[in-house]
């Protein structure tokens, strides 16, 4: 495609104005299929307020804007009229509501429609558009997903706790995926126990087929640097790797299925210095802006299994992420309401250390895991969960602080997926307390915190081999900070987890700690929190 030329001023009036947001770039949207090109119009908006949520990594911002511009051109090529408000449009109000109001004034539509936005903040904003200047606004469900919020609510109703595994099994049965009659393919629902292999030497992983930035993406990269110079992260034309069209996203899917899916399951949890992708898919950004459909991803993996090109443990693990975890997390997000992002069940209030933004730290594991985030706004799920969020959890960082960081720093971030994964799964913060501090509801997403010492990282990677910190020490200036904070976390929250059966064994180890060792751990943890600016 040639350089982008926005069309902010289309002729009015229009019958129906359809608002297309940046995470709704699918041509089979329910709203698009009913559009009459000569009577209706599409509104797309690049607004500064969205880039300041987090704030957004410059590559994440460029990815969204480039994908939106490509989508707008495709709509125009299909005959649709598109009112596209560019980031540097002098008349841009830089808010969704401001641009909807301008469009109503200019185009005088009979009605407005939008697919359910991907976060509560924008959803509540969209509700306010109804009857603005007498114009009704309809919000329709997003059929990209396999379940509506109402369907998930019906599944959750009456359950004492929400367990993803049970939801996943019902999804398998309902969709007929990897089923042998009424039984799971291969006799097991879950092959996670087969998916924890580690590398003994540097793996020879396949090259990744990445999208070469075209004129539009190159233009957007320049635009972001010029108009939003204060955004975090690193970006250049040479480092931009993300697909911004459906064709490129489908190429990425084929590349993953052919070259990395066969070993995806086996090494799903492994990490290695300088090898940030390994056998993972890189598909989540395209999925979360709807350039890919989860159904086609599942079908591609199932076809590879049927051909004998990928083993069951890899295919089941990939499928579980799509029809199980992804749908479960979205269901929890809409079920729990707009205050979910601010939950803080354990009462942690620490600030996020500066090295999360710069990558400048002596901890090899953290530096390695931050590198792909700073360079590409991405890392696979184990660095996210077991290194970056684990460190925030055990060191006492505020859930909202690390949640906002994840929201802003990842290309695949949309609030419905990022908030439950960070506030719920990673930070174990989505329980609720009353005004006296008494727990009235245990955490929703997880039954125990994903807290781990440096020994986990040592087992799953080569990061600890040349690190300046000693992974075998718990206290002292040379001790691995993960060890120090892990044991300090258990000491600090001993009473919080007293009734948690899954924590009973490790808490007995806490009780056995020599008082002098316990004191040394707590003292070192306080020192580190001060040095890192957490406390």
pLDDT tens per residue across span 16-31: 999 999 999 999 999 9
Q: What are the helix (H) ranges across 265-325?
A: 284-288, 294-307, 312-319
Q: What is the mean pLDDT of residues 356-380?
A: 98
Residue 10: what pLDDT? 80
**Cβ count near 34 (within 10 Å):** 11
Q: What are the helix (H) ranges across 54-191?
A: 58-77, 96-107, 120-127, 149-156, 164-175
Q: Which two three-digit tokens encode residue 308?
A: 């004998």
pTM of the predicted protein model: 0.96
Residues linked to residue 140 through DSSP beta bridges, in sequence order: 115
> For tokens 């924590």, what's the residue?
503
pLDDT tens per residue across span 79-105: 999 999 999 999 999 999 999 999 999
CB 431 within 8 A of CB 345: yes
- Under 8 Å CB-to-CB from 428, ≥6 apart: which residues? 345, 346, 393, 443, 446, 448, 449, 450, 451
pLDDT tens per residue across span 373-422: 999 999 999 999 999 999 999 999 999 999 999 999 999 999 999 999 99
Q: What is the mean pLDDT of residues 253-261?
A: 98
Q: Which two three-digit tokens encode residue 322?
A: 């799509």
pLDDT band at residue 133 under the 50/70/90 scheme: confident
Among 264-273, 410-419, 496-505, 514-523, the range scoring the smallest mean pLDDT is: 496-505
Q: What is the mean pLDDT of residues 315-340?
A: 98
| Distance from C-alpha of 310 to C-alpha of 324, rounded to nearest angstrom | 20
Smallest Cα–Cα separation from 344: which of 408, 433, 418, 425? 433
pLDDT tens per residue across span 187-228: 999 999 999 999 999 999 999 988 899 999 999 999 999 999
> Is 6 a residue whose pLDDT tops 90?
no
Q: What is the mean pLDDT of residues 222-239?
A: 96
Residue 1: what pLDDT? 45
Residue 12: what pLDDT? 79
CB 527 within 8 A of CB 535: no
| Distance from C-alpha of 222 to C-alpha of 217, rounded to nearest angstrom | 9
Q: Which H or E run contains 454?
A: helix 454-460
> Is 531 a residue whose pLDDT tops 50?
yes
């Amino acid at each position: 495609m040639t350089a982008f030329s926005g069309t902010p001023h289309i002729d009015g009036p229009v019958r129906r104005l359809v608002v297309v947001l940046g995470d709704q770039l699918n041509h089979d949207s329910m709203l698009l299929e009913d559009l009459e090109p000569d009577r209706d119009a599409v509104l797309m908006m690049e607004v500064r307020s969205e880039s300041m949520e987090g704030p957004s990594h410059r590559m994440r911002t460029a990815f969204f804007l480039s994908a939106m511009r490509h989508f707008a051109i495709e709509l125009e090529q299909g005959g649709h009229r598109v009112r596209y408000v560019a980031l540097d449009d002098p008349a841009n109000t830089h808010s969704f509501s401001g641009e909807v109001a301008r469009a109503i004034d200019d185009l005088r539509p009979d009605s407005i429609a939008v697919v359910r936005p991907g976060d509560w903040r924008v959803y509540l904003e969209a509700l306010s558009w109804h009857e603005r200047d007498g114009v009704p606004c309809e919000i329709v469900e997003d059929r990209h997903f396999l379940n509506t919020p109402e369907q998930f609510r019906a599944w959750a109703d009456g359950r004492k706790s929400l367990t993803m595994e049970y939801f996943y099994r019902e999804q398998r049965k309902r969709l007929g995926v990897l089923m042998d009659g009424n039984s799971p393919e291969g006799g097991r629902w879950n092959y996670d126990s087969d998916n924890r292999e580690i590398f003994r030497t540097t793996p020879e992983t396949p090259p990744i087929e990445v999208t070469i930035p075209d004129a539009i993406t190159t233009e957007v990269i320049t635009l972001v640097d010029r108009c939003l110079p204060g955004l975090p992260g690193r970006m250049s034309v040479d480092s931009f790797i993300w697909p911004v069209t459906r064709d490129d996203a489908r190429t990425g899917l084929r590349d993953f299925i052919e070259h990395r899916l066969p070993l995806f399951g086996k090494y799903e949890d492994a990490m290695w210095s300088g090898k940030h992708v390994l056998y993972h898919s890189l598909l989540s950004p395209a999925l979360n802006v709807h350039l890919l459909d989860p159904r086609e991803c599942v079908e591609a993996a199932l076809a590879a299994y049927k051909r004998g090109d990928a083993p069951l443990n890899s295919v089941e693990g990939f499928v579980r992420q799509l029809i199980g975890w992804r749908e479960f997390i979205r269901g929890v997000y809409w079920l729990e309401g707009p205050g979910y992002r601010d939950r803080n069940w354990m009462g942690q209030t620490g600030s996020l250390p500066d090295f999360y933004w710069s990558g400048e730290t002596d901890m090899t594991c953290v530096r390695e895991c931050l590198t792909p985030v700073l360079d590409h706004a991405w890392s696979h799920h184990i660095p996210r969960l077991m290194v970056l969020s684990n460190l925030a959890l055990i060191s006492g960082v505020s859930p909202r602080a690390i949640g906002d960081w994840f929201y802003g720093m990842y290309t695949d971030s949309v609030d419905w997926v990022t908030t439950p994964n960070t506030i719920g799964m990673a930070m174990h913060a989505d329980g609720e307390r009353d005004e006296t501090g008494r727990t009235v509801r245990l955490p929703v997403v997880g039954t125990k915190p994903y807290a781990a010492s440096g020994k986990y990282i040592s087992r799953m990677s080569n990061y600890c081999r040349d690190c300046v910190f000693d992974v075998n020490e718990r206290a002292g200036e040379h001790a691995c900070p993960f060890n120090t904070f892990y044991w300090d976390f258990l000491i600090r929250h001993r009473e919080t987890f007293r009734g948690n059966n899954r924590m009973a064994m490790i808490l007995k180890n806490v009780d056995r700690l020599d008082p002098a060792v316990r004191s040394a751990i707590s003292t070192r943890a306080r020192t580190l929190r001060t040095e890192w600016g957490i406390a």
